[in-house]
């Protein structure tokens, strides 16, 4: 992966090493530059799960992505820049979909930043209308215009729950504290990216 | 969808919305040119890798999805008590 090209794609000239400020700048730049999109699934070809492939398509402006691709590519970028990134299994709750952690969402956490070594961060650029900047991984209410967000311990897993603003189509999202790998998302990606009844294929 | 500092821009089929703290702006993209202009200018997706056949196909899918949405809305309105 061409890290310099990725930073350029995000509108960032350089990265001077991991820090809270730099993580926030990367997260904001990614969320404001790379669209959450399912246009790529309208042509029946599916799309890559591999983070490096996703990153290359983002860099070339061929595609944005959905959660697996956006958070996967962002994790690859952060790792290449020296961040300690952990993947987690998650699941999104909507008005028609109950709260569950079924690997239908990929979540990131970042830890061990030199200027906040004890603090973990909830990092997620794959929710579409979710986070603009990371949240400290601790209970709290947050305002990220135009939405109000609440982070709290999950009621359904050993992990965390993001309650989204009532104006979002997403009710909330739960994720496990346990670490995951990209292979944990292969089965869901295989269905969600190509099945005719997948919500990501039905509507672009 | 794309995050902005104080809003979220959403394109669902041919409905382009921007959600702000106090209001939401909505527009229906009426033409294929408007659709691809929004994908490029608003979302940064020029989609130059698509053939003209694929671009036509994608536009027709978006229109069909919007018409299905309108049909569901109309059916729902009919079922609601007066």
pLDDT digits (tens, 9 = 90+) for A128-146: 999 999 999 999 999 999 9
| CB–CB contact B20 A34 (8 Å) | no
Please list, residue by residue across B7-42, b when 16 or more beta carbons sit within 10 angstroms of its beta carbon and e when fewer do: bbbbbbbbebebbeeeeeeeeebeebeebbebbeee
Can you point out the beta strands (E) in A53-127?
Answer: 84-94, 105-111, 121-123
Give B13's pLDDT tier (boundaries 50, 70, 90): very high
A33 vs chain B: nearest CA distance in angstroms?
Answer: 7
**Minimum-distance CB partner of B44 among A33, A128, A202:** A33
> Could you read off the pLDDT of A45-62 as tens digits, one per residue?
889 999 999 999 999 999
CA distance A32 to chain B (A): 5
Handedness of CA A115, A117, A122, A126 (dihedral sign): positive
- Among candidate residues B49, B4, B15, B40, the one with its CA nearest the CA of residue A203: B15
Q: Which two tokens stand for residue A164?
A: 């989204």
Binned at pLDDT 50, 70 and 90, residue B82 comes out as: low
For residue range A7-46, list pLDDT tens digits in order: 999 999 999 999 999 999 999 999 999 999 998 888 888 8
**Alpha-carbon span B2 to A198, nearest angstrom:** 21
| Average pLDDT of span B24-46 | 97
Phi/psi at A13 (5° precision)? -80, -35
**HEC assignment per residue over B28-80:** ECCCHHHHHHHHHHCCCCCCCCCCHHHHHHHHHHHHHHHHHHHHHHHHHHHHC
How many A/B residue pairs have CB atoms within 8 Å? 75
CB of B62 less than 8 A from some CB of A: yes
Give me the sheet containing B24-28, strands edge to edge: B2-3, B8-12, B15-19, B24-28
Average pLDDT over residues B41-69: 95
Give the per-residue pLDDT at A194.
Answer: 87
The burial class, CB within 10 Å (0-12 / 13-18 / 19+), for A104 is buried
pLDDT in tens, B16-26: 999 999 999 99
pLDDT in tens, A94-116: 998 999 999 999 999 999 999 99
In angstroms, the CA A153 to CA A20 distance is 23
Provide the pLDDT for residue A134.
98
Instruction: Test A34 with B44 for CB contact under 8 angstroms.
Output: yes
Dmax over CA atoms of chain B, in Å, equals 50
pTM above 0.80, yes or no: yes
> How much is the pLDDT for A43?
86
- Residue A153 is predicted with a pLDDT of 98
How are strands ordered across the β-sheet holding A147-153? A135-136, A121-123, A105-111, A84-94, A170-176, A159-163, A147-153, A140-144
Mutation pick from A24, A57, A129 vs chain B, by most beta carbons of B within 10 Å, is A129
Residues 6+ apart with CB under 8 A from B70: none
Q: Tens digits of per-residue pLDDT, A154-183?
A: 999 999 999 999 999 899 999 999 999 999
Contact status, residue B1 vs residue A146, Cβ threshold 8 Å: no
* ipTM for the predicted complex: 0.90
Q: Are A51 and A189 in contact (CB under 8 A)?
A: no
Q: Residue B25 and residue B17: Cα distance in Å, rounded?
A: 5
């Amino acid at each position: 992966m061409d890290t310099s090209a990725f930073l350029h794609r995000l509108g960032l000239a350089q990265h001077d090493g991991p820090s809270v400020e730099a993580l926030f700048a990367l997260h904001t730049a990614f969320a404001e530059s790379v669209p959450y999109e399912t246009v790529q699934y309208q042509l029946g070809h599916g799309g890559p799960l591999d983070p490096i492939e996703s990153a290359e398509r983002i860099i070339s402006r061929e595609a944005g992505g959905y959660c697996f691709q956006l958070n996967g590519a962002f994790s690859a970028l952060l790792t290449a820049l020296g961040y300690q990134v952990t993947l987690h299994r998650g699941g999104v709750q909507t008005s028609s979909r109950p709260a569950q952690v079924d690997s239908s969402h990929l979540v990131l956490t970042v830890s061990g930043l030199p200027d906040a070594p004890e603090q973990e961060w909830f990092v997620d650029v794959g929710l579409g209308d979710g986070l603009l900047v990371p949240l400290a991984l601790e209970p709290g209410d947050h305002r990220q215009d135009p939405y109000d967000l609440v982070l709290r311990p999950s009621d359904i897993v050993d992990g965390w729950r993001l309650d989204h603003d009532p104006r979002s189509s997403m009710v909330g999202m739960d994720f496990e504290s346990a670490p995951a790998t990209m292979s944990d998302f292969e089965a869901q990606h295989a269905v969600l990216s190509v099945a005719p009844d997948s919500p990501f294929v039905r509507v672009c | 969808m794309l995050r902005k500092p104080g809003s979220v821009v959403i394109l669902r089929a041919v409905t382009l919305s921007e959600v702000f703290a106090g209001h939401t702006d909505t527009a229906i993209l009426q033409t294929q040119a408007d659709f691809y202009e929004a994908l490029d200018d608003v979302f940064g997706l020029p989609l130059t890798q698509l053939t003209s056949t694929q671009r036509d196909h994608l536009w027709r899918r978006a229109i069909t999805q919007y018409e299905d949405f309108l049909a569901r809305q109309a059916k729902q309105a009919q079922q609601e008590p007066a």
